[in-house]
Structure 1
Amino acid sequence: MAVAVAAAALTATAAPVQAAPTAFVQNADGSRSYGGYVVRGEILRCYVGLGAEQGFLGRPFSEESGPERGYGFRQSFQGGEVYWTPATGAHVVKGEILDEYRHENYNLGWLGYPVSDEIPVRGGVIQRFQGAVVYWSPATGAHPVRGAIMDRYAQDRWETGRLGFPTSGEQAVYGGAVQTFQGGDVYWSPATGAHAVVGGIKEVYDHFDGLDGNGFPLGEEYRTRTGWRQDFQDAYILFG
C-alpha cells in the first residue's frame, strides 16, 4: 500500500481545537485530572504526546470508558477520541473517519479497534482498523474497504491504481456485494469471487442493467484480437 506523503499533508479532520492552557491536577496514581475528567495510563501517554489540551485533541469531555469487549478502553476529547487495547496500543480517531466509525458502532461494530493513526497517502489519508481500512479524501469522504473486495483492491495498487479512492462502503446486493470506487466498481459473490468492472466495459455493463442484466463478473477483463472482453454469469461484453 502506498503511503507517500503529499507536499501538503491532508487530514480527515476539521481545523484543530486550540484550547487555552489549563491547569491540571497530578494525581498520586500518575493520572491527571483536566477540568474534572481523569486521563490515565496509555491514553494519557498518547494525549500528552500530542500536546495535551493545547494540541488538536483539546480538552477531555468524558471519563475513560471500558473495558469494552472485555479488553479495550476509549476516551472522548474535543478533537477526537483515543482508543487503547493491550494488543493495538493507543490511537486517535477523528474527523470524517470518526463519523464513519460512529456510523458502524465504533469499536463495538465490525471495524473493531484502530490499529494505526491516520496515515497520509497521495490525495488523502487512510486509517487501519481490526476489521478494515478506512480511506478518506476531500472528494470522496470516508469509506471502509474490507475482506475479498480489499484483497482485489490491493491487487490494483490500492488508491494509486486504476480504481482510485472508494466512493461508497460495501453494499449488499442479491447474492453478494458491490463497492464503488472513483475508477470502477468491485463486485463479489461466494461463487465468483471479487472482480473489478471498469472503463468502457463498465459503461456497457451499466447501460444493460448492470448486475440484473449481466450477473456477477467471472473474472477480470482481458485483451482479445478485437479489443477487451469480460465474462459475466449471464453475458460477455466486448469493447474496443
Structure 2
Amino acid sequence: MFNGSLADLQSFGTGTVADKITQRYTDLGGASSYLGNPSGGEYAAAGGWAQNYEQGIIGYFPATGAYAVHGAIWQHYQQLGGPGGVLGLPTTDETGTPDGVGRYNHFTGSLGASVYWTASTGAKAVYGVIRQKWAALGWETGLGYPTTDEAGTPDGVGRYNHFNGAQGASIYYTASTGAQSIHGLIRQKWADLGWETGLGYPTTDEAGTPDGVGRYNHFNGAQGASIYWTASTGAQSIHGLIRQKWAALGWEASGLRYPTSDEFSVTGGRRNNFQRGTITFVTASSTLQVTYS
C-alpha cells in the first residue's frame, strides 16, 4: 500500500502488499506499546481501514497514512462513533500543542476534524466550519481550548463550540451567518441577554471600531442588533430602530458617541443612553427623538 491509489487499495483487500496498519503498530512497539494487543481484525471505515486494540486504534487513510489514537482522546473518539462517526480516520498521531498544555489528534472528517485534550477541559471535538474559523483565529492561541463538543442550539438553527479563552469564548454557526466568534465581555453581555434567543446570532467576529477605542459584534436579531464595548462604557447592546438611527447618524463617530446603556423602557417608549445624549423611540407617534447633552 504505497501511495493510496485505487490499485493499492485493491491490493490491500487481497492481501498482496504490506499492511500499513501492521507496520505502524510494529513501529510503535507492538503489544508492548500503549495500544496493547489487537482486538478483532482490520475493517474498512471512512474511505480507509482501521484496527482496534485494547487501549486504542490505528486508522489508515490512503492520502495521509496510518496513525494511532489512544488515551482520553481515543475514549472520546469512540464515544463519538470512532471511524464511522463524524470525525472519520486519524491523520496524525496524538501530538502535543506548542504551549505544552494540550494534546490533540486531527481526523479526516468533512472539512477537517480534531479532538483536543487538556487536564482542565478533557477531550473535546471541533470540526467543520467551526474548526476552520478556530484555526483561522490561531487554534488554541486564539480563543483557547474547546470546552464543549460541537453542539446544536435549542432552536435547531445553529451549531457552536465554547472555548476557555479569557472570560469565555465561543464560535457560533448558522447557514445564513457562517461561523463567527464572540468572546470576553461582549459574549458575557450576549449571554445575559439570552444568547441567540435575545439579539440573534453573531454576524461578525468581534472587531475593533475605526477610532481604535471600542470593540463590537453585530447580530442578526430583528432589524439588526449589536453589542459595543469600550473601557469606559462597558458592553452595551443596541438594536432595532434605535440602532438604525444611531447608524444613520454615524455610529460611534456621531455626536452621541458610544452607548452607555442597553435599550430600556421609559414612559411612552424605549431608549438608549449614549456618552453624549439619548435616542428615544416614542411609541405613540412611532418616531425617534435624538437629544444631545
TM range (shorter): 0.7 to 0.9
Contact residue 158 and residue 164 of structure 1 kept, 8 A: yes
Greater relative CO, 1 or 2 (CA 8 Å, sep 6+): 1
The counterpart of 1:26, out of the listed 53, 71, 77, is 53
**Structure 2 match to 1:238:** 280
**Are 1:181 and 2:181 matched, yes or no?**
no
| Alpha-carbon distance between aligned partners in 2 of 1:147 and 1:76, rounded to the nearest angstrom | 27
**Structure 1 match to 2:159:** 125
TM-score by length of 2: 0.70
**Structure 2 match to 1:12:** none
Contact residue 50 and residue 57 of structure 2 kept, 8 A: no
Q: 1:55-94 to 2 correspondence within 5 Å?
A: 55-79=85-109, 80-94=113-127
Change (3 A) 1:62 1:204: same
**Are 1:144 and 2:181 matched, yes or no?**
yes
| Alpha-carbon distance between aligned partners in 2 of 1:224 and 1:19, rounded to the nearest angstrom | 59
Change (3 A) 1:181 1:23: closer
Give the letter aligned to residue 34 of structure 1. G
Give secondary structure in 1 for the equivalent of 2:186: helix
* Unaligned runs of at least 5 residues, structure 2: 1-44, 61-65, 283-293
Change (3 A) 1:118 1:67: closer
**Structure 2 match to 1:15:** none
Contact residue 20 and residue 54 of structure 1 kept, 8 A: no
Give the letter aligned to residue 114 of structure 1. P
**Are 1:198 and 2:239 matched, yes or no?**
yes
Change (3 A) 1:237 1:72: same
Give the letter aligned to residue 220 of structure 1. D
Return the offset for 1:32: 2.9
Q: Identity of aligned pairs, percent?
A: 33
| Alpha-carbon distance between aligned partners in 1 of 2:74 and 2:271, rounded to the nearest angstrom | 56
| Alpha-carbon distance between aligned partners in 1 of 2:50 and 2:268, rounded to the nearest angstrom | 73
| Alpha-carbon distance between aligned partners in 1 of 2:174 and 2:52, rounded to the nearest angstrom | 39
How many residue pairs get aligned? The number is 219
Contact residue 149 and residue 194 of structure 1 kept, 8 A: yes
Contact residue 115 and residue 128 of structure 1 kept, 8 A: yes
Contact residue 21 and residue 53 of structure 1 kept, 8 A: no
| Alpha-carbon distance between aligned partners in 1 of 2:56 and 2:179, rounded to the nearest angstrom | 34
Higher Rg of the two aligned structures: 2
Return the offset for 1:21: 6.5
**Are 1:228 and 2:265 matched, yes or no?**
no
| Alpha-carbon distance between aligned partners in 2 of 1:77 and 1:156, rounded to the nearest angstrom | 36
**Structure 1 match to 2:252:** 211
Return the offset for 1:67: 4.5
Return the offset for 1:227: 2.6
| Alpha-carbon distance between aligned partners in 1 of 2:81 and 2:272, rounded to the nearest angstrom | 53
**Structure 2 match to 1:102:** 135
CA RMSD of aligned residues (A): 1.8
**Structure 1 match to 2:5:** none
Give secondary structure in 1 for the equivalent of 2:49: coil
Return the offset for 1:42: 1.2
Give the letter aligned to residue 103 of structure 1. A
* Higher mean displacement: 129-138 or 64-73: 64-73
| Alpha-carbon distance between aligned partners in 2 of 1:58 and 1:143, rounded to the nearest angstrom | 25
Contact residue 60 and residue 77 of structure 1 kept, 8 A: yes
| Alpha-carbon distance between aligned partners in 2 of 1:226 and 1:51, rounded to the nearest angstrom | 56
The counterpart of 1:39, out of the listed 63, 69, 88, is 69
**Structure 2 match to 1:9:** none
**Are 1:156 and 2:171 matched, yes or no?**
no
